[in-house]
Amino acid sequence: MSMIDDAARGARYTWGGDEFLFIEIAEAMSLAANFTSTAMAARLTADDLDGIIDICPSNASLLIRFDPDRIAPQDIEARMRAIEVEVRNLSHPTRETRVVEVPVWYDDPYTRETGARFRSGHQRPDGGDLDFAAEENHLGSAAEFIRRHHGSLWLVSMVGFVAGLPFMFQIVPQEQQLEVPKYLTPRTDTPALTVGHGGCFACIYSVRGAGGYQMFGIAAAPIFDPAQSLPDFTQFMVFFRPGDIVKFRPVDESEYRRIQEQVNDGTYRYRQASVTFDLNRALADPHGYNTEIMEYFDGV
């Protein structure tokens, strides 16, 4: 069984100047397209070819920067086309990854206040982002939207835009995905660690700054630590990696404050566990596979 239905079509290969190769896996985001991107990136990384400068997997694509004086463009393209065939023909694609629990204070005062300041650029000037998101998804209330948001797992499909920001794709059947448009006019301010949503993607804003995603809450702990002061950042200042699986956990204000105290005294650790992600099972039974991973994680 081929990994994705349109495997015969193949990816589109284009060049950016003489240092970049861009590989478009698919025109639309999907679990299978993202798995192909990250699997191709992992295999190229394992090759350890001289002349490869950077490998950047994205939602449904892959960007490679290379030194043309050390590796010929035709050689890197030939290698990537061979890797693509290997990955697409996997009969049982799996990935060793981790599940990470992210505590979130939903409907918090910080994002509510920010949203109120920028209503003129919103589709619903007289309401809030959560109410708007609930209506867009034909749900009865903001509370129901929040339950749907933390009731399933999310795959980190890429990390970027600003340092450490994860884009996350909901592991549910496509027709059940939460989707909501971005602000009509982007904000000039967004609180750091805002949990946002635009289109089919969730995100966590790693730093304070501009943004256009709808705002649903605020994460309790950093995901970007340039000083590497917390234990989870000893290896790298960016916490998330493509392929991570995120389990949002709602917290109230008192627990949010307790976590903030642990962050400030340098003792906070994210709750996480290793897991083998099975693409075929995720595609065949998203709800069942979600439940299985959540139960496994809760038992660790």
Q: Is residue 275 part of a domain?
A: yes
Whether 64 and 120 share a structural domain = no
CATH number of the CATH domain containing 156: 2.40.100.10
What local confidence, expressed as pLDDT, does residue 244 receive?
96
Together in a domain, 84 and 103:
no
152 HSE (CA, 13 A, CB side): 22
Nearest to 106 by CA among 159, 141, 142: 142
Q: HEC profile for 180-216? A: ECCCCCCECCCCCCEEEEEECEEEECCCCCCECCEEE
Q: What is the per-residue pLDDT for 238? A: 97
- Would you call 142 helix, strand, or coil by DSSP? helix
Whether residue 4 is contained in a domain is answered as: no
CATH number at residue 42: 3.30.1360.40
Residues 201, 250, single domain; the answer is yes
User: Distance between CA 23 and CA 8 in Å, rounded?
Assistant: 15
131 with 232, same domain?
Answer: yes
What are the per-10-residue average pLDDT scores of the chain (300 residues)?
A: 50 96 94 94 96 95 97 97 95 94 98 96 94 97 97 95 94 93 97 97 97 98 97 97 96 98 97 96 93 91
Map residue 228 onto helix, strand or coil: coil
Same domain, residue pair 137 and 206 = yes
**One domain for residues 186 and 112:** yes
pLDDT at 290: 92
| Any domain includes 7 | no
Q: Are 21 and 110 contained in the same domain?
A: no
Question: Is the domain of 160 the same as that of 86?
Answer: no
pLDDT, position 82: 97
pLDDT at 1: 37
Q: Are 100 and 151 contained in the same domain?
A: yes
Q: Looking at the 3D structure of the chain, how many domains does it have?
A: 2
* Residue 205 domain boundaries: 96-299
Give the pLDDT score at 150. Answer: 97
CA distance linking residue 51 with residue 69, whole number of Å: 8
